Structure 1
Amino acid sequence: MVARDRLLAVFVAVIWGCNFLGIHYMLGQFPPVFAGALRYLLVAIPTILFIPRPKVRLRWLIGYGLGFGTGQYALLFIAMNIGVGTGLASLVVQASAPFTVLLGTFFLRERLSPRQLSGIVLAVGGLALITWHQAEHAALLPVVLVLLAALSWAIGNICARKAEPDNAVRFMLWMSVVPPIPMLVLSLLLEGPGAQWRSLTTLGTSTGLIGLGGLVYVVLLGTLAGSGIWTVLMRRNPAGVVAPFSLLVPVAGMTMSFLLLNERPQLTEILAGLVIVAGVLLGSLPRRQRSTGAASDEELAVSSS
């Protein structure tokens, strides 16, 4: 992997880490589920108009959209709205990696190596430590919602692997067509049309402009630019070389939330975070022999963060 590509991989990890800041500012203006619907709606409209639909089975495209899009971001946004820290959310959602491995063993009949099992045990141990710590401080529900968001992401990954698209970028864009309608319906039921309307009619305020800026960042940089660059890196380099750079996402997220939001993680959270990152890294290290299909699967699992 040349130095330019390494710098680009670090750049994408920073973009995705800052994505959680963008979400934080979005939630200051928009109701959480409505914010998720807007995020995908802004991607879905130009996709339908200008991007050919990928040649995949419709059920796997819908499954990916519901898992990675609707389930993950509805739960993640609600969790961040009711109290989980921005940096902590960027860390706990990495549980999608061991969840994906476990689901793959059951639904895809993928073999679980001793190294992967060790990585899962480490990651789950770190997550259990964070869950226990949050329960001690009466903040368990938001963390549980983030864990469910990570599980939903993993379900989306399984659907993506089953789809086997010939173009990962086109598949990712068309996935964005699925979430807007179910998220808008959920928003109407949970948040009400009044909250939706107020968030739109107050965009001219200072809070509204900041929230709009967060939305633009999440759509243009976090979704389109970040995923686009990552996919190019995956095509130019072995997936096992590129994938570990995604572990820098929670590092960037927690650092930026500390610098800009004054979020100060406690020692227990830092130690648990190191254990989780170590576990995910151990489980994602490439085997000595990798098939083309395995590389393609890993591309889909990490290219849509």
Structure 2
Amino acid sequence: MPFKHSALAVLVMIIWGANFVVIDEGLDDVPPLLFLSFRFVLVALPLVFFIPRPTAGWRAVVAVGTFMSLGQFGLLYIALDLGMPAGLASLILQAHVIMTIVIAAIALKESPTRRQVVGASIGTVGLLVVVVAHGATAPVIPVLVMLGAALSWATGNVVARSAGVASGLSLVVWSALVVPLPALLLSLVVDGPAEVGSAVTHLSGVAIASTAYTAIGASLIGYGIWNSLLARHPASAVVPFVLLVPVIGIMTAWLVQDEVPTTLELVGGAVMLLGVATATITRSARPTKEGPPEPSAPVELASPAR
């Protein structure tokens, strides 16, 4: 890729990597599910009135919104609210890649390649190391909730694939409509009307800025640039940049929140990312005399910021 496009890819990774800390800071003033509702209202409105509806059917759009947005981010926000370190959350969410391979093999009868099997095996070992290392020094429940977030995302990937839903900004915007009302109702049940009302009427500047960052910066700007890069270049040239997300996430949490991972957590994380890279990154075909290679199909690793 040209340097300019590589720089844009790195910029998106910085936006997405820092997103975990931004969310965590915003949760200090707003209950997690209410905060989730705020975010996706801003993602959907007013763009839903200007961006054409996805070509996929309503069932597919609702399913994608339920698993990729409501399930994934709902559990992510809850895990952070329960005390999950933001940097470590950015790493554990990468498990969705391994889970997607497994679920697709079971539900869609897709036979994984040898590289995917090896990568998934390595990634699973690294994930187990991270879980055990973190569980030795902190409650394990937030980690399990994060794994639930990764599982929801993986399920959404398989649902989208089986329905033939193409990734795109229209899908992000329209599927966002699935989130606000259920998230608000769940917040009213879990947190109570009094707490919800107090949070709505006493929004801090941090909560407002966090919502704007996650919705506009991470979801719309970040995903818009990402889609543009995937449309112009082979996925094998673009996708590897996503492995920077947990690196930037951990660094941001380290600098902003003094979150210092243990040595064993870092080792396990490195092994897990090695597995993810092995399972997903392939070499692009060399250009021939007839012209450049055809762009490969987009492969989503981890864009928790969407």
Q: Of the candidates 281, 297, 301, which is equivalent to residue 295 of structure 1?
A: 297
Map 1:92-241 → 2, pairs under 5 A: 92-165=92-165, 168-203=168-203, 208-241=204-237
Moved more, 157-166 or 183-192: 157-166
- Which amino acid counterpart does residue 286 of structure 1 have in structure 2? T
Deviation of residue 163 (structure 1)?
3.3
What is the percent sequence identity of the aligned residues?
36
CA distance in structure 2 between the aligned counterparts of 1:293 and 1:8, rounded to whole angstroms? 18
Structure 1 residues 64 and 12: CA distance shift in structure 2, 3 A: same
SS at match of 1:35: helix
Alignment match, 2:256: 260
Moved more, 265-274 or 98-107: 98-107
TM-score scaled by structure 1? 0.92
- Which amino acid counterpart does residue 249 of structure 1 have in structure 2? V
Q: Gapped runs of 5+ residues in structure 1?
A: none
Moved more, 42-51 or 159-168: 159-168
What CA deviation, in whole Å up to 9, does each residue of 1:47-95 have, x standing for no partner?
3322221111211111110001111111111110111101000110111
SS at match of 1:30: coil
Alignment match, 1:79: 79
Structure 1 stretches of 4+ with a deviation exceeding 4 A read 291-294, 299-305
Structure 1 residues 304 and 234: CA distance shift in structure 2, 3 A: farther
CA distance in structure 2 between the aligned counterparts of 1:34 and 1:167, rounded to whole angstroms? 26
CA distance in structure 1 between the aligned counterparts of 2:62 and 2:217, rounded to whole angstroms? 24
Q: Gapped runs of 5+ residues in structure 2?
A: 286-292
- Which amino acid counterpart does residue 124 of structure 1 have in structure 2? T
- Which amino acid counterpart does residue 244 of structure 1 have in structure 2? P
Structure 1 residues 200 and 283: CA distance shift in structure 2, 3 A: same
Structure 1 residues 303 and 134: CA distance shift in structure 2, 3 A: closer
Moved more, 98-107 or 247-256: 98-107
SS at match of 2:55: coil
Structure 1 residues 287 and 57: CA distance shift in structure 2, 3 A: farther
Alignment match, 1:64: 64
Contact 2:71/2:153 (CA < 8 Å) preserved in 1?
yes
Contact 2:254/2:260 (CA < 8 Å) preserved in 1?
yes
- Which amino acid counterpart does residue 295 of structure 1 have in structure 2? A
- Which amino acid counterpart does residue 184 of structure 2 have in structure 1? L
CA distance in structure 2 between the aligned counterparts of 1:2 and 1:164, rounded to whole angstroms? 31
Higher helix fraction: Structure 1 or Structure 2? 1
CA distance in structure 2 between the aligned counterparts of 1:178 and 1:286, rounded to whole angstroms? 34
What CA deviation, in whole Å up to 9, does each residue of 1:143-193 have, x standing for no partner?
000011000011111122233345611112111111112111211111112
Alignment match, 2:289: none
CA distance in structure 1 between the aligned counterparts of 2:147 and 2:165, rounded to whole angstroms? 27
TM-score scaled by structure 2? 0.92
Map 1:24-63 → 2, pairs under 5 A: 24-63=24-63
Alignment match, 2:239: 243
- Which amino acid counterpart does residue 19 of structure 1 have in structure 2? N
Deviation of residue 194 (structure 1)?
1.4
What CA deviation, in whole Å up to 9, does each residue of 1:95-136 have, x standing for no partner?
111111111112222221111111111111111112112322
Contact 1:115/1:282 (CA < 8 Å) preserved in 2?
yes
Moved more, 54-63 or 222-231: 54-63
CA distance in structure 2 between the aligned counterparts of 1:79 and 1:303, rounded to whole angstroms? 14
Structure 1 residues 262 and 301: CA distance shift in structure 2, 3 A: closer
Q: How many residues align?
A: 300
C-alpha RMSD over aligned residues: 2.1
- Which amino acid counterpart does residue 109 of structure 1 have in structure 2? K
- Which amino acid counterpart does residue 95 of structure 1 have in structure 2? A
